Amino acid sequence: MGAALITLGLLGACSTETLTPVPTPTTHSSSANRSSATAAINAVSTAETPFAHAGALDLGIEARRAKPLVYVANQQAGTVQVIDPSTYRVVATYPVGRSPEQVVPSPDLRTLWVTSDAGNSMTPIDPRTGEPGKAIVVSDPGNLYFTPDGRYALVMAAGLRRIDIRDAHTMKLVRSLPIPCAGINHADYTADLSTLVVSCELSGKLVVVDSDAARVVKMIGLDRLHTPGTTVGKKARPVGGPTSTPTQAATARPQDVQLSPDGRWLLVADGLRNGVWVIDAHTLKYSRFVPTGKGADGICLSRDTHRIYVSNRDAGTITVLDADTLAPVATWTVPGGGSPDLGGVTADGKQLWLSGRNSSVVYVIDTSSGRVTHLIPVLAGPHGLLVWPQPGRSSLGNTGTLR
């Protein structure tokens, strides 16, 4: 691939951390933090227009300083590969901790974090150069989010069944919140940033926590809800990773979580139900289900927020939803099948980049036609894919949840 292989000092699979004891926030302190979080986000957007600064080419100051690159976390290969989007070629390959899952922008957009759950490590990347720094010890970091004020990192430690709350700059452990479900992974906030909804992909549930991750507010069970076209669990492709065995009773496998552009709905892709759960973002109750395709996995918004892209990994398709009605308006097919997984839209909105989880490729799709324009070979198990830079003023986590 003509990529430069750069050797880094990697951390071992076992880690030991020291907890920094602080009191769990009381109701008063939680309210204060929410107030500061709301004040911070008011400079970015409002509850009525949560993606006001995520439109095409609306880059913040730090994002404009970043080198335009695409980062691919190869879970099986244990590497991050860097693609030049102007040439569609891999330009660097960096070994990182075992089983890298995601590449996540920090709240201030000055650092990109590679999460490696099986390696118990996180590796920082400088977005101005695209080069990694020294990895740090972090227990079981499967996915990564942040409190809306940018003060704390929320590490989704699925194997430990908890959310670890850490200093967002040093990643020093502050406290942990036990989670009563298996496979916590993806998440998104409501439009007012008061509530975080997290998918539990191995137990068929959603867990709702407050924005400080101080307490579990409620659980939303999906297993008992009827939907058409469910895939029997043992016939589904495995989700991958070190904690990928579903609980025996689970008939749902919630994956990516995405707030709708109007802030009314939280959309949850489900790899067993083969579509998208629609959760009322105000009442936090199930509203309806939208079938998309087998193995529904990732959700991205178009830059004009008129369309929603759902990647169906097992079907090898992308379903395009109307953002107002949530009705499917198009289905794009990856030639030869493929396994479109996670990714993002370019800053100008003209391309959708997705990892091919089981195909060792990256797909580049023209968003005006739905045509796959490039297939870029990468190493085994491409999973989290970050297109950088992206519009928005602050990162809430994952591979580009910006507001």
Tens of pLDDT, residue by residue over 258-286, are 999 999 999 999 999 999 999 999 999 99
Tens of pLDDT, residue by residue over 302-339, are 999 999 999 999 999 999 999 999 999 999 999 988 99
The C-alpha torsion from 388 through 104 and 291 to 281, rounded to 10°, is -110
Per-residue confidence (pLDDT) for residue 231, from 0 to 100 = 86
- Categorize the per-residue pLDDT at 97 as very low, low, confident or very high, splitting at 50, 70 and 90: very high
Give the mean pLDDT of the chain: 89
Say whether 234 sits in a helix, a strand or coil. Answer: helix
Q: Is residue 136 part of a domain?
A: yes
Q: Is residue 19 part of a domain?
A: no
Q: Is residue 397 part of a domain?
A: no
Tens of pLDDT, residue by residue over 185-216, are 999 999 999 999 999 999 999 999 999 999 99
Q: What is the CATH number of the domain that holds 100?
A: 2.130.10.10
Element (H, E) at 290: strand 286-291
pTM for this entry: 0.89
Q: Are 113 and 103 in contact (CB under 8 A)?
A: yes
Per-residue confidence (pLDDT) for residue 374, from 0 to 100 = 98
Per-residue confidence (pLDDT) for residue 22, from 0 to 100 = 39
Residues paired with 166 in a beta bridge: 153, 173
Average pLDDT on 5-27 reads: 44
CA 160, 164, 168: angle at the middle one, nearest 5? Answer: 150
- How many structural domains is the chain composed of? 1
- Categorize the per-residue pLDDT at 400 as very low, low, confident or very high, splitting at 50, 70 and 90: confident
Residue 264: left if φ>0, alpha if ψ -120 to 50, beta else—which one?
alpha
Q: Which amino acid is at 93?
A: T
Average pLDDT on 146-171 reads: 98
Which tokens go with 142? 């499967």
Q: Which amino acid is at 299?
A: I
Strands (DSSP E) contained in 106-150 are 112-116, 121-126, 131-132, 136-137, 143-146
- Categorize the per-residue pLDDT at 33 as very low, low, confident or very high, splitting at 50, 70 and 90: very low
Enumerate residues 6+ apart whose C-beta is below 8 A from 168: 106, 107, 146, 147, 150, 151, 152, 153
Say whether 34 sits in a helix, a strand or coil. Answer: helix
**3-state secondary structure labels for all residues of 331-349:** EEECCCCCCEEEEEECCCC
**Residue 29 CB neighbour total at 10 angstroms:** 13
Q: Are 362 and 83 in contact (CB under 8 A)?
A: yes
- Categorize the per-residue pLDDT at 75 as very low, low, confident or very high, splitting at 50, 70 and 90: very high
Per-residue confidence (pLDDT) for residue 226, from 0 to 100 = 94
Peptide bond into 389 cis (omega under 30): yes
Sign of the Cα torsion 63, 64, 67, 69 reads: positive
Per-residue confidence (pLDDT) for residue 240, from 0 to 100 = 55
Q: Are 312 and 293 in contact (CB under 8 A)?
A: yes
Query: Quick one: DSSP state of residue 395?
Result: B
Query: What whole-number distance in Å separates Cα of residue 193 and Cα of residue 47?
Result: 8
Which residue would you say has higher pLDDT here, 22 or 157? 157
Percentage of residues of the chain with pLDDT beyond 70: 84
Domain of 356 in residue numbering reads as 4-9+29-388
Enumerate residues 6+ apart whose C-beta is below 8 A from 39: none
Q: Is residue 333 part of a domain?
A: yes
Q: Are 373 and 387 in contact (CB under 8 A)?
A: no
- Categorize the per-residue pLDDT at 90 as very low, low, confident or very high, splitting at 50, 70 and 90: very high
Which residue would you say has higher pLDDT here, 36 or 281? 281
Enumerate residues 6+ apart whose C-beta is below 8 A from 369: none
Tens of pLDDT, residue by residue over 218-260, are 999 999 999 988 886 545 555 554 345 555 568 999 999 999 9
